[in-house]
Amino acid sequence: MAESRNVVEMDPDVARRLFEEGAFLVLLGVPKGTELGIDCKSWQVGPRFKGVKMIPPGLHFLHYCSANPPSHGGELGPKTGLFLSLKPREILLANWDPKIEDLDFSASQNEEEVQRIRSNLKDLDPFLGPYPYEGMRKWVSLTDHLKYELANNLQPLSGRVCAFSEVIPELQLRHTKDRAEQPRNDQACQSMKEGLDRLPKMKEREGTELRFSAIPERKYPPGATPAEITRCSMDFSYALETVLEKNYSLQPLNVLGELQFAFVCFLLGNVYEGFEHWKSLLSLLCRGPEESMQKRKELFLGLNLGALPPAWRNSTRLLRRYCLSEQLPHHYAAGLFPVRIWSWGRRKPPEEGREVQSSPDQKVSLGL
């Protein structure tokens, strides 16, 4: 593994204890050049790579992209990820399936195979990369409200969070009669609209879609008066309460977990839909404080994005731009983010922000 300035120097006794008590991801057959990461760190794996060791118990996000061989350009495919809940000393075993370019975890159900791996862990040790403890604080700060049960309920039924949704035609057109009724595509289009109308209508394949809470389009109650509509359009308390009562009536703080889930899917999984949902939830929380803050103080105390590590805080021009474009109340949104985000205008950002413009899931070479 290539050395990095951020690698944590670990005492041998501590490393030995982490090896004995931590969890293991044994990932066999992962092709050389594949980009693979766990939580906030990713690597380009080498030919000897067989997994990750010394993983702390709890929630983790495993993400990876297959790569073409260098002779074919070496391009990376779309990113795939999944949330995992690991126990102390647990071994999760997976084999790379070259046909679908994905990890197959079915071997983890074979107790005999798992025990065989456990008995040979010391022989396997040179081929396992250590968990990146230098990024653990970042990961914890990103997911302190997110539990595995919630993540499992939000991620697709397929168990995979994919950067690009798998789509299928809404109409299967299995019969000649069905196809004959569709617009002909052997003639030139006369307009852009005609061309768009000829494209097949697509939908996400069932089981591959993220299961986010539905955000109501109308932010006011049925039968609202014009005055109530105006008030609810400025203060989203009604819409926020609707989301909480429908999805999190027993555990309202889970909406913060969903907010973090969406952000992780975007930041580490490259899922743009996650960013859009994060924006929608954040808008509800920022524009619904007048009534909701009195009723749900604990919820709003937990909503403090300024607690993000500097690597994210200092590179949040996108967040500032979003908050301004959504016209979020300045007096509240400014409390969520560091002051310097709001002070960045025509002036150059502080010097300390220049070194963190790169993606937080820094890539290093894992030469195993």
All structural domains of the chain with their residue ranges: 16-136, 144-165+202-327
Torsion of Cα atoms, 241 then 247 then 251 then 253, to 10°: -60
pLDDT of res. 185: 64
Quick: pLDDT tens for 188-225: 777 888 777 777 777 888 889 999 999 999 999 999 99
- CB distance 339 to 302 below 8 Å: no
Choose the CATH number for 16-136 among 2.60.34.20, 3.40.50.720, 1.10.287.3510, 2.40.50.60.
2.60.34.20
- CB distance 212 to 275 below 8 Å: no
Neighbours of 226 (CB within 10 A): 8
For the entire predicted model, the pTM comes to 0.79
State what percent of residues in the chain have pLDDT above 90.
52
Q: Which residue has the tokens 């899917």?
A: 265
Query: Can you list the alpha helix ranges (DSSP code H) found in 120-219?
Result: 121-124, 136-142, 148-154, 176-180, 192-198
Q: Which residue has the tokens 């908050």?
A: 323
Asked whether the predicted pLDDT for residue 311 surpasses 70, the reply is: no
- CB distance 64 to 54 below 8 Å: no
Polymer length of the chain = 368
Distance from the Cα of residue 147 to its chain's centroid: 14
Q: Write down the CATH number for the domain with range 144-165+202-327.
A: 1.25.40
- CB distance 61 to 84 below 8 Å: yes
CA–CA separation, 123 and 264 (whole Å)? 34
pLDDT of res. 14: 82
Q: Which residue has the tokens 């999805």?
A: 247
Structure tokens belonging to residue 180? 């004959």
CA–CA separation, 295 and 292 (whole Å)? 5
Residue 285 carries which side chain, given as an amino acid letter?
A: L
Torsion of Cα atoms, 256 then 259 then 265 then 268, to 10°: -70
- CB distance 209 to 165 below 8 Å: yes
Mean pLDDT of 7-29: 84
Mean pLDDT of 278-298: 82
Q: Which residue has the tokens 């006794």?
A: 13
Quick: pLDDT tens for 222-274: 999 999 999 888 888 899 999 999 999 999 999 999 999 999 999 999 999 99
Quick: pLDDT tens for 134-185: 999 999 999 999 999 999 999 999 999 999 888 777 776 665 666 566 666 6
- CB distance 303 to 337 below 8 Å: no
CA–CA separation, 195 and 192 (whole Å)? 5
